[in-house]
Amino acid sequence: MPGRTARLTLLALAACLPFPSRVTAFPLLAQNWRELSPGERYDTLKNYQQHERLPEDSRRDVEKRYQRWQQMSPDERDHIRQNYQRFQQLPPQERARIQQKYEKWRRQAEPSH
């Protein structure tokens, strides 16, 4: 739960900040980052740290997936997001089984590529 504690603390601190500090502290930052809430920014930074810790080839794999994600249409993205929500709602054992099933499916699909 440390992540949740940190997020809650951030939200409390953000509420204490005067409005201009929250919005205009770094006007040159990309719009997306500025649009995120403190909690979302925290999660984003955590994900960045996780990504930085990955080995080089794993990082490259994620970056390729990101390129594919960027090329997807909004409908495709919506569909993927819905699947992600379904995946998130599954119990941990079931998620592991999905991963196993995917590995099996990939092995079967590979020769046809």
Task: Pick out residues in 5-24 that bind another protein (CB under 8 A).
Answer: 5-6, 9-10, 13-14, 17, 21-23
Look at the chain and count its residues.
113
Kindly tell me which residue out of 18, 19, 30, 107 binds another protein, with binding defined by CB under 8 A. Answer: 30
Contact code string over 48-77 relative to another protein, x by CB under 8 A:
xxxx----------xx-xx-xxx-------
SS3 8: helix
Is 84 among the residues that bind another protein (CB under 8 A)? yes
Kindly tell me which residue out of 38, 55, 60, 112 binds another protein, with binding defined by CB under 8 A. Answer: 38
Which DSSP letter does residue 21 get? H
Question: Can you count the helices (H) and strands (E) in the chain?
Answer: 7, 0
Which DSSP letter does residue 27 get? T
Which DSSP letter does residue 1 get? -
Is 78 among the residues that bind another protein (CB under 8 A)? no
